[in-house]
A and B are shown apart, each in its own frame.
Chain A
């Protein structure tokens, strides 16, 4: 079946860039997402990328997609303490439907 993998932990210093990586197995994935989960809060959609794109930038966030290698990354520039959270990678064939989530990467931002 489909599978989405992420490393579980990442620590960076405040002001540095963070890069969170994700790999997936479903070649029919059309949409790839990054969600942020803060303690006590629901998952918040940060951004998504359509599979015919290889990059999407939104302010401090840059998403890179290597469709050949089925590799997705999220780069957060100038990481702040408020960026500390769990980041989930997810994929689906149709937008907003039948998500397959990764296990989440816990980002810790050190002062």
Chain B
């Protein structure tokens, strides 16, 4: 199947700093990418849908100024957690939609905010 990578896989940062997470589709082009957040023992929650060349669509309750999404090319979407706080600590997973509408998931990024 298609491969989606995320970088970094783990990041620890101080409260108040911003963190950028990259999501890349390695062997296919993805006009649509998705960002999810996963809390321990809970399901993946969709945060936003990212379309190449246009603004992201955020789910209800997700602060667009807090979680900046940029989908600059057909193979790259970035999520920037701005002014991170401990409550932003979570596992962030991206996915990219390939042909036939199947979503391919990245390995996730574990963010810890001290």
Which residues of A are in contact with B by a Cβ distance under 8 Å? 4, 8, 35, 40-45, 88, 94-104
Q: How far is the CB of B25 from chain A (nearest CB, A)?
A: 11
Distance, CA A44 to CA B100, complexed state (A): 16
23 contacts between A and B (CB under 8 A): A4-B43, A8-B41, A35-B105, A42-B6, A42-B104, A42-B108, A43-B105, A44-B1, A45-B102, A88-B43, A88-B44, A95-B101, A96-B102, A97-B101, A99-B44, A99-B103, A101-B43, A101-B44, A102-B43, A103-B42, A103-B43, A104-B41, A104-B43
8 A Cβ contacts from B85-114 to A = 93, 95, 97, 100-108
B74 contacts chain A at the CB level, 8 A cutoff: no
CA distance A11 to B108 in the complex (A): 25
Q: How many A-B residue pairs have CB under 8 A?
A: 47
In the assembled complex, the Cα of A98 lies from the Cα of B44 at a distance in Å of 12
Docked CA distance A97–B89 (Å): 26
**Interface size, chain B (Cβ < 8 Å):** 21
Q: Which residues from A are CB-within-8-Å of B93?
A: 42-43
Contacting residues, chain B, for A99 (C-beta < 8 A): 44, 46, 103
A-B contacts besides A42-B4, A43-B93, A95-B102, 8 pairs, CB < 8 Å: A4-B43, A8-B41, A44-B105, A45-B1, A96-B101, A98-B46, A102-B43, A103-B42
Q: Does B70 reach chain A (CB closer than 8 Å)?
A: no
